[in-house]
Structure 1
Amino acid sequence: MPIESHDAALPSNFTPIGLTFDDVLLLPAESGVTPSDVDTSTMLSRNIRLNVPLISAAMETVTESAMAIAMARQGGIGILHQNLPKEEQARQVETVKRSEAGMVTDPATCSPDDTLDDVNRLCARFKISGVPVVDDGKLVGIITNRDMRFQVDHARKVGEVMTKGPLVTAPAGVSADDALALLRRHKIEKLPIVDHAGRLQGLITIKDFVKAEQYPQAARDAGGRLLVGAAVGMGTGAVERAELLFEAGVDVLVVDTAHGHQSDVLHAVASIKQEFGRAVDVIGGNVTTRAGAQALIDAGADAVKVTAGPGSIRPARAAANVGVPQVSAIHEVSLVCAAAGIPVIGGGVRNPGDIAKAIAAGAGSVILSSQLAGTTEAPGDLIFFNGEQHKVYRDAGPLDAGQSRNGTEAYSKDRNRQDDVLAEENLVPHGIENRINYLGPVAHVVHQLIVGLRAGMSFTGSHTISKLQQAQLIRLTRASLR
């Protein structure tokens, strides 16, 4: 998509004209493509592919484990926000990775000497209905809700209540078809995988087969687990947080800052890539210029995020008026990233048409915030206002998002360059806080967005996302808007 050159009447320090989504339309093209024919899969980062180009933002009122699970089931991915203790953020990664696993290679277990209370806490943490019982690594039993349902004394030992051997098991390397056949034949829900010495190697559950059928478009890793990302800051604890997240199984890390073209961000990206190499992808952002994108690429970023349009950086009482309109920002960044083979993540979208425009401008995927903050899976409780259901939405990182949660330390001050502010009362709000209408389940919202994207791909004759990136955009005039 060509961007206009400098206007000769403007001073030399003016850049080319900036365009946003309302300034352009997709140009129709010859097409034999129907909406149902298109392939919406795309590269999120250098090594991670999504089945739909949608990402839930790393915001406190948008993405925790429930949202990340829901997004991955729909084919996208959720990025867990960082305003949490690093241990809690890592636990949320584990929750997502264990929610659907194909074969769980490191299942939660207990010992015969644990109590039923211990098992209840373990099941509640990972939202599971039972666990294998191991003694010195060997499988000795299994305990499920059925074993505990009528137990009154929860201080009893697991060994007294568990279902003991001989158990139905399968050898390591069992095929999915054979595992499903064993589950059906014996009418059991959990199939332990053991080696020749009886040591537990993994666990397959009937629920994972059901979920695979229910969510065929789900975005999964090579082991069949749902994809999940997590945000880290750029402060001194960024690498330490990244290590915990990596150990928990995170697929992609996002150095999540309001302004990504600065030395601290570049250092954080470089440090994390140096620590983990190709073991985990790193997304850097937010930037809006070619220079910012190139700096992140040079630091080792596997994708570049473009979500800092005008008004998204707002100190109290006076707008900073810093940013680049989204279409122009995505296009400028994509020119650098395309040459390096690095995907671009766009932002600022408000409706399905904006998603197609962002991709035509050069993005491979888009990040969603307010569109998802009102859904069932978004963090926070429903509130009633004027007889209607709402949820609270915080955009970009206002005062509350930089403050402590439940009396604990604040963890996201460095996202807005306020990690050097010692007193919370001195934090400056960035963004807005508002009520947002309750929208129902994430699946409904994603469906509507993808329907619109498919329509845009059909009108432009784009069978794939990469083809849509070659579509033309036409600039609107004020008269055409009227």
Structure 2
Amino acid sequence: MDFEIGRAKRARRVYAFDDVAVVPSRRTRDPEDVSTAWSIDAYRFDVPFLAAPMDSVTSPATAIAMGRLGGLGVLNLEGIWTRYEDPEPLLQEIRELPDDRATARMQEIYRAPIRAELITARVAEVRAAGVPVAAALSPQRTQEFFQTVLDAGVDLFAIRGTTVSAQHVSQRSEPLDLRRFIYELDVPVIVGGAATYTAAMHLMRTGAAGVLVGFGGGAATTTRTSLGIAAPMASAVADVAGARRDYLDESGGRYVQVIADGGLGNSGDIVKAIAMGADAVMLGSTLARAAEAPGGGWHWGAEAHHDQLPRGRRVRVGTVAPLQEVLYGPAHLPDGTVNLAGALKRSMATTGYSDVKEFQRVEVVVADSFGR
């Protein structure tokens, strides 16, 4: 239903994760009988969690750790690891910057050029550990470096931006032809973000194996403040899941993974993302709180150091536990920041579902406030 804002404008009511909750059913299960496994193309993972390609979250070391723990770490190939041979002094400096200097100094740090040989070295480091290798570039950098990435040997490739469309119009440069690009690659490609049914449908038609859902919804972004653009995530995920359903019929059975990316601050948000139709979630701030995270208790994304219009910030998220405990517990905090997989299993068991795909059918309710 559309609502009238004024005589010249109508709008659709949409919902964030805080506006919805899952509802128990007539059946419950033992949590140990519940599977959180997730697959994309030929790759299977114990948990449907991807570590976001953000410098405060995923280093080569944490990508390896995520892989060994049954998830997937996605390397940021435009980050500090591909600009500097030894990034640790720069990371330490970013962690210690005063708030009034953080944006300007980060812009300076990230002006260093991306080096193809460092892309090769970082990918090789993860590959040598024997875990699946995933890496990400923005649409602007994909044409420049994708061959380097493929030659280095990635298993999955992500084209990730604040928003990614199948039809980008530019009078200044040759836009990335997603359909041709994906067709010519030999690896599964994940693209996004997308926040609407139509945008997601167009991305699915390019041949993408997965679509990232989100737009400026993370803890470290100020996109809504800067650009006035936002995508309340419960509605966005449900819309893109609807596109997946319709594309499945249109394509004669081709299933595209829907991956929620943004607004996932705790385990409850992860549960609700999957309840709304996501197959997996890409995690930023929730994993930036791990003891091994390169941000050291701080979190930032590429938007925080954009050279012309920063749309993010460096935020303090703290450190709650080692990565093993963040993912699998035991939890010593009751706030949904530790034992993410355990919380997902418990919610699925409480509502009577045995796997992630089944859990997408769970009943949900909407309320203006859940006791806040």
User: By the TM > 0.5 criterion, same fold?
Assistant: yes
| 1:305 maps to which of 201, 212, 218 | 212
Read off the aligned partner of 1:89 and give its amino acid letter: I
Could you list the per-position Cα deviations for residues 311-347 of structure 1 after superposition, in whole angstroms to 9, with x for gaps in the alignment? 876469x532212200000000110113332110013
Mind listing any 5+ residue stretches in structure 2 that lack a counterpart?
A: 83-114, 170-174, 249-254, 329-338
Structure 1 residue 432, shift from structure 2 partner: 1.5
Query: Residue type of the partner of 1:285?
Result: G
Cα deviation, 1:410-439, whole Å, max 9, x if unaligned, reads xxxxxxxxxxxxxx4xx2212111233123
Letter in 2 for 1:292: A
Measured against aligned partners, the alpha-carbon deviations of 1:114-139 in whole angstroms (never above 9, x if no partner) come to: xxxxxxxxxxxxxxxxxxxxxxxxxx
Structure 2: distance between partners of 1:264 and 1:6: 28
Task: From 100, 125, 129, give the equivalent of 1:99.
Answer: 129
CA distance in 2, matches of 1:234, 1:14: 32
Aligned 8 A contact 1:239 1:268 in 2: no
Of 66, 73, 80 in structure 2, the residue corresponding to residue 71 of structure 1 is 66
2:178 matched to 1:273? no
Is 1:435–2:316 an aligned residue pair?
A: yes
Q: How many corresponding residue pairs?
A: 313
* Residue identity opposite 1:344 in structure 2: V
Relative to the length of structure 2, the TM-score reads 0.77
Aligned to 2:24: 28
Distance of 1:262 and 1:437 partners within structure 2: 37
* 1:353 alignment partner AA: G
Distance in structure 2 (CA, Å) of the matches to 1:289 and 1:73: 34
Change (3 A) 1:271 1:62: farther
- What's 1:449 paired with? 340
Structure 1 residues 474 and 293: CA distance shift in structure 2, 3 A = same
The alpha carbon displacement at 1:249 in A equals: 2.1
Q: Is 1:250–2:140 an aligned residue pair?
A: no
Q: Which runs of 5+ in 1 are unaligned?
A: 101-225, 383-390, 403-423
Partners in 1 of 2:18 and 2:302 — Cα distance?
Answer: 21
2:272 corresponds to which of 348, 357, 360:
357
Q: For residue 274 of structure 1, what is the amino acid of its counterpart?
A: Y
In the alignment, the residues of structure 2 paired with residue 283 and residue 245 of structure 1 have an alpha-carbon distance, to the nearest angstrom, of 14
Instruction: Sort the Cα spacing of 1:10 and 1:357 in 2 relative to 1 into closer, same or farther, 3 A.
Output: farther
Query: Partner residue of 1:227?
Result: 132
1:293 aligns with 2:207: no
Q: TM-score, normalised to structure 1's length?
A: 0.60
Are the aligned partners of 1:56 and 1:78 in contact in 2 as well (CA < 8 Å)?
A: yes
Give, in whole Å, the separation in 1 of the partners of 2:41 and 2:4: 39
Q: Confirm or deny that 1:470 pairs with 2:351.
A: no
Are the equivalent residues in 1 in contact too, given 2:166–2:206 (CA < 8 A)? no
SS at 1:94's partner residue?
Answer: helix
Task: Work out which of the two has the higher radius of gyration on C-alpha atoms and give 1 or 2.
Answer: 1
SS at match of 2:190: strand
Give the superposition deviation at 1:280. 0.3
Q: Aligned partner of 1:428: which letter?
A: L
SS at match of 2:165: coil
How far apart are the structure 2 equivalents of 1:10 and 1:333?
A: 28
Give the Å deviation of 1:21: 1.1
Equivalent of residue 164 in structure 2, options 221, 241, 260: 260
Letter aligned with residue 191 of structure 2: G
1:86 CA drift (Å): 3.3
- Work out which of the residue numbers 316, 340, 345 in structure 1 matches 2:259: 345
Q: How far does residue 91 in structure 1 lie from its aligned partner after superposition?
A: 1.8
2:240 matched to 1:333?
yes
The 1:86/1:330 distance shift into structure 2, 3 A limit, reads farther
- Percent identical residues: 29
8 Å CA contact retained: 2:162, 2:216: no
Distance in 1 (alpha carbons) for counterparts of 2:356 and 2:344: 10
Q: Determine the C-alpha separation between the residues in 2 that align with 1:246 and 1:260.
A: 21
Give the aligned partner of residue 481 of structure 1: 371
Measure, in 1, the Cα distance between the counterparts of 2:28 and 2:2. 38
Counterparts of 2:17 and 2:176, CA distance in 1: 32
Change (3 A) 1:268 1:60: farther
* Aligned residue identity for 2:57: V
Per the alignment, do residues 228 and 31 of structure 1 end up closer, same or farther by CA in structure 2, a change over 3 Å counting? Answer: farther
